[in-house]
Amino acid sequence: MKFEQFALAALASFAISAVASAQQTHNVPVFEFDVERVALHDEANTAGIYARLVSEAGEYCGGIVARESVEYPVCVEAMVTLVVTELDHAPLAQLHGAATQARAPRQQAVAYSAG
């Protein structure tokens, strides 16, 4: 049973002032997500693993930026995308792609109203 752990520093592909200030002081929080590789072999587990990933990314990002901020969903999306990319698991990537597509119109509306 292979055990995967992903520790991803929020060094990021997104600009969040809280992350930038944390980086300057070298106090960068780390996002960790643990999943057993064998759990990914059962596609019935995929939705549960994805839901847990999104939840844990939300908790992590909530510690960096305010949940009601514009940066919060960007942070969650970035952390989830990083883990999904690292896992390189097609069913999980498909689920993430579908979830991302479903959120895209709402995110565009927020972007238009924000600026």
Q: What is the pLDDT of residues 54-68, one digit of tens each?
A: 999 999 999 989 999
Tell me the three-class secondary structure of 11-75, residue by residue.
CCCCCCHHHHHHHHCCCCCEEEEEEEHHHHCCHHHHHHHHHHHHHHHHHHHHCCCCCCCCHHHHH
Domain that holds residue 91: 3-114
pTM: 0.68
CA-to-CA dists, residue 71 to 38, 66, 77, 80, 98, angstroms = 34, 8, 10, 14, 21
The predicted structure's pLDDT at residue 16: 41
Q: Which residue has the higher pLDDT, 111 or 60?
A: 60
Structural domains counted in the chain: 1
Q: Which residue has the higher pLDDT, 63 or 22?
A: 63
Query: Where on the phi/psi map is residue 88: left (φ > 0), alpha (ψ -120 to 50), or beta?
Result: left
pLDDT at 82 over 50: yes
Average pLDDT in the 60-79 region?
A: 93
